[in-house]
Structure formats: C-alpha cells, structure tokens
A and B are shown apart, each in its own frame.
Chain A
C-alpha cells in the first residue's frame, strides 16, 4: 500500500528547503546593498565610465527613486505612474539584456501626495532571495515571489489612516529573520512595524516619535549576538529585536531625519550632530559614544564607511573624507552637480551620481581624492544606484540603465 506523505510534512520540508535558499553572492537586495552600507564585493565594475559602458538602457513606465534590486538573474525595480502617482508598479527585467520578464501593478490605498522631487516609488524594496518586498510612499506594502506571484498585500496607510507624510515617505524596507521591517514614521500616526515575511501579518508594531522621518532601517549583525534593527529618528537611534520589536538599546541624543546611519564593523556611524560614532556593547543599555564631529555633515546622501575612512557627501557635491578612527578630516573634493543619491563602493572606488545624471567615479585612496572618470547619462537621478554582476545600475524617472558587465553573471 502506498502511503502519501502528510501535507504538513511536505510543507515543513518545503519551508526548510526554502529557508535554506541562499542569496546568491553579489546580489543587491536592499537600499545600499546586502549589508545596507553601500559596499559591494563586486569586481570588474567599470572605473573608466564612458558611453560604451552602457550595457543596456530600458524605459520605465513610471517615476521612482527606489534603487534597483539584483537577485540572481533578475533586476527588480519599483515605479509609480498616473496623475496622482497612485498606480504602483513592480517590474522585473532579465539581468543579461534588460528584457522585461514581468510587471505587476497595484492601486494605492493610501495617500500619494509627495514633494515634487520625490514620488510614490521612493522607498527601496528588499529581498530575501525568495521574494521581493516592496513599500511605497502610500504605505502600501506587498510581497511577490521572484516570478511575480503575489504573496500578500497590505495597505498600511489604509489600516492606520493617519500614517502618512504630505511631503512623501521614503524609508526603505529591510527583511531579517523572516520579518519585513517597515518604518512608517511621520508627524501623526507614527510607527514601525515588523511584518511576517510569509503572511504579511503584523508580528509587532512599535509606536515611534511623532516626527516626519525619511531615514531607512539598518540591520546590525554582530557575530554571536542576535540581530538588531537600528531605527534612526529625530530622537536618536533605537535598536530593536526584529522578531519581537522589543527595544534592546537606545541612543537618545537626537539624529538626522534624512541621511541614514551606516554600520562599519562594530561601529555605528550616525548622522547626529554632524556625525556621531557609536559602539554598542553586549548587554549594555545604551551604546558607547566613540567620537563626534560637527564638521562632517552629510546632506541627503547617507555616509559611507570604507576601511578606516568615512565619506560624507553634501547636497552641493562636497565630498568629505575623514578618519573613521577619530573623525579627523583628511580631505575634501568638489564633485559636479547637486546630490541626493548615496554613493556606492566597489573595487575601492566610489560611484557618485549627481541629480543631473553625471556618474562620477572617485578614487578615495588618492591623497586628496580624485575623480577618475565621469559619464553624463542626461537624466535626472535622485535615487541611489546599485552594484551587482560587475555593473552599476542607475535608475531615473524614465530609464533603468546598466553600466558595465558582460551581460551574464
């Protein structure tokens, strides 16, 4: 007699298999990459940017500032369209040639009003290698598998009707330990939620300071310690347990509400009173403050830590390099244009994209820093670029562009 495996056993096996699916090395899975620090281990990203560096360039059906994700052989990006930017798009393209693979559209259920410089597709989605989790300024949050099948859809702006910002929301998602962390922090109904990645249900919902906040969460991974999600706000930095939302520690001296903190080794570099560097200690109620510098003031772009150096970029294009050890300023370099996008790093080079679409490649190892090449894309670029497959991916309101790479991974 044949016996059929129990359904629950199949589900358990499938779940275990799925949980074991590794992210491919070099995937770019969230805002500022897999570690949320803007650093990539990619090699071969062009240092000499020139028109022939464009591997492919494809039109997008809507506006957006969100960074593209690169997961396996797919490039995923969000956009919004319509007179009120209330049509929300998730698009998937083939990495090798930019061919469209699928597109899903959603009707916004929350408010889509934003400052004209941004739009509904400002937050960057996140992926755990199995699904893409996307959120929009309307606080519509959803999960699709990598073939475009819907896993769940939440209208957080509908569920919590005063959760919105009339200038727009921009906090990107992180997914960690099976939880999608959505910062929905604003002047009114302000909260951060941990949503179950599989079901979309609230695992936890944490009241947060009633103050507009455009920063993004960052995962602090410390060997031997439980993961923490760092939430930056006008009040400071709050470290929470992603599974429960329980607060582990807080830094309460205030922080910026635009550029986001970055983790470098054991240190947390916070845009607070200029820059404040923290060092969390296991079991301590609050982190140790290592140094603070009012001279280092990032603009919209978040700071980047490369080795023992810290780089900040202000809105006017002044790139400042300081010692990550003590905050001492080492050099400043003027880049061309105004900047909103955070620089990303591969092969020791910074890739900075100005608002008027100039990709500027900076070698920070030079004594005063040096721009080694630049390429004008001729498009307005506000969103942070992505790095994967030996390539830089830049998205504008109109196009998604791949620079470098041979096509295949």
Chain B
C-alpha cells in the first residue's frame, strides 16, 4: 500500500467536507484519524490509536462520509480500526434517530478515486437504508476497481441471465458472455463457463484466465528431507539455457514446456518424472509494453519460490495442504520489455495418494485480476 502524505490526507479531508451533505470533521476527530492511520505491523501505534479510536467513534452521522474518505491510502490495519469506529458511530447515531447522509455516501461510492473498501462500506450503508436503491446502483460497477462491488454486479448480471435461460437462450448466452467479460474471481468465471457450456457455448478457460503457458523447465534437483527448498541451485544464480547442470541423479538441461491444461498447470511429474524429494525449476519470458505494477498469481500445493527479474518475490515451504487458483497474489513491478519469471517447485517425500502433485499454475494480472498477457 502506498504511503500517503499526511498533509495531503488532511487536504483531502478538508476538501471533501465541501461535499453536499457531509460535515467537516472537527479538528479533534481529524487528529484522531491521523493517529489511527499510523498503526502498523506488530502493534505499532496502538497506544495512540486506542485513545484516538474513542474520539473517532464519537463522529456524528453527518461526519461518516469524512471518515470513509479518511480511509484513502490507509494501510490494512488502519482500515479495520477505522471501519469499527464507523460501525460504532453508525450504530449509536441511527439508534438515536439520526439519518445517514445518503447523497454524500453515494458520492463516495461513485468516485473510484476513493479506497475500494471505503466505497464498499458506503454501499453497504446505503443498502442498509435503501436496499432497492443500492441494488439499482450495482449495475454501474461491472468494471469497478473494487473486487466486492464488481463481484456483486457480475452476480446480478448472472442472475438476470439465469432468468433468460428458458425463454431466450441466445439472450442468456449474450448476458452470460457479458458477465464473463467482467468477472475477475475464479469461482465466478468457472460458474459462468459451466452455465454457458450447459447452453452449448464453450468457454476457453485457459484464455480467460490468461495463464503463462510457455516455459523452460529443468530438474530434478535434490529435495531429500525438504532440504532442497532452502538450497541455492544453479538456476537461482544464473539462467543459462544451454548449460548442463548437476541434478539429483545426473546432469540435467533446460527443455521447453507448453502447458495444454485449461488450468495452466505446469506438471513436473509429467514433464520430468514422478519423483519424490525433488526440485524443479520453470522459467518464462514475459514481455511488457511498458513498466508497470502487476500481480503474479500462483496456485501451488508444493514448496515454492518465485523470482521476477532475479529478485525473490516470495516463497513458502508448505507441502500438500491445498491449492487453488490465485492462491497467492504477489505484487510485482514489470519493466518495459523482457521480464524473467522463475519458479522453484519442490516436491517432498510424502507417499499418500493426495501427495502426488508436483505442479503449479501462474498468471500475471492487474490488481483486479484482469489477465495481463505477455506481448510476445
């Protein structure tokens, strides 16, 4: 999360106060908000935030929109502190008969510059007051940067398609296709694909998810006793496609691999051999037209590490618990031109039936989950 200049944040607060229906935060509450925004890892800032929270929770109904604006740029810890203060204030104010400023809340909801979570909370407050109005607003969020609003909008479209299935099959397909175009969550994509298939319209799931499908693989290296997870093998130091490397049971070389799985699975059991206590590496070129932020999204039930352009992004030594699409969402920065994504995938020595998989799936997306595809 980007750090926000407190002066800028204060200007935002003051500026927003001009919005119709919203009241400026008293200085005491504004100062308390800043103390809450300063909370961080391992309880950082708790002492100041604890007393500040009580002040923020005293906000009047008319000041709730300002508290939502105060969520802009806040870290995930502070968002939760602020949310609970908002809920406490709303509970007290509405119990006392106060009315929430719906117009101001709607202004926040519609303004995508505000934090997606603040906007979602605004939506939920509006829904609490006027459910039909909130439901009517949903259709405007099909391209929303906030995953929850977007998801609900897609769900609404899916519900409409479901009503069209019997009477107007072609219309239902069109509506489902529209929903698919906007869906970003894996379960919704799969659900829509199944419904379309039932209507005779096949979805190219691999293309929809946008998996990285072309790789170069090398292995196996040794992972006896799971020691290979921490061991630095040659691919972690240098990628030399022509090099012959010392593997687990002899020399190994890089070879090309293209996954044909609609779920983008890179399967080392199939590509190398069904082994235990082994490490495999996969590297992919990923071309970007511009330097940009992105997410590398990985699903894997083996031990794994991911590097982008030689920098370790994250790694995890959990084996055979579970895997799912987009299990790990890692923010990365792509440079313009050629990027290298390196994955280390470690199989341990468990022998159970459910411990056979030695594989991963990976895609590059924006923050909302829209696939970003390599330009070459």
Contacts and interface: CB of A to CB of B under 8 A. Distances in A.
Interface of A: 82-84, 102-107, 109, 113, 115, 140, 142, 144, 148-155, 158-159, 161-162, 164-167, 186-188, 199-202, 210, 212
11 contacts: A107-B80, A113-B327, A142-B80, A148-B84, A150-B53, A153-B80, A166-B318, A186-B318, A187-B318, A188-B317, A200-B43
Contact of A149 (B57, B80, B148, B187): B57
Nearest to A198: B50
Nearest to B324: A113
A109 B76 contact: yes
A165 to B, nearest CB: 6
A214 B14 CA distance: 48
Given A103-B87, A150-B84, A200-B46, A115 B322 contact: yes
Contacts of A106: 80, 83-84
A186 B41 CA distance: 20
Interface in B72-95: 76-77, 79-81, 83-85, 87-88, 91
Given A82-B148, A113-B322, A154 B43 contact: yes
Interface in B167-192: 185, 187-188
Q: From DSSP, what is the main secondary structure of chain A's interface residues?
A: loop
Contacts of B301: 166
A166 B81 contact: no
B238 interface: no
A231 B319 CA distance: 23
Q: From DSSP, what is the main secondary structure of chain B's interface residues?
A: helix
Q: How large is the interface on B (under 10, 10 to 19, 20 to 34, 35 or more residues)?
A: 35 or more
A162 B316 contact: yes
Interface string B54-71: 100100000000000000
Nearest to A84: B185
B367 to A, nearest CB: 15
Given A83-B187, A150-B53, A105 B83 contact: yes
Nearest to A154: B43
Nearest to B78: A153
A132 B263 CA distance: 43
B314 interface: yes
A201 B43 contact: yes
B76 A107 contact: yes
Contacts of A199: 43, 46-47, 50
A11 to B, nearest CB: 11
B323 interface: yes
Contacts of B57: 149
B321 interface: yes
A162 B117 CA distance: 24
A267 B316 CA distance: 39
Nearest to A151: B50
B192 to A, nearest CB: 14
B151 interface: yes
B319 A187 contact: yes
Nearest to B329: A111
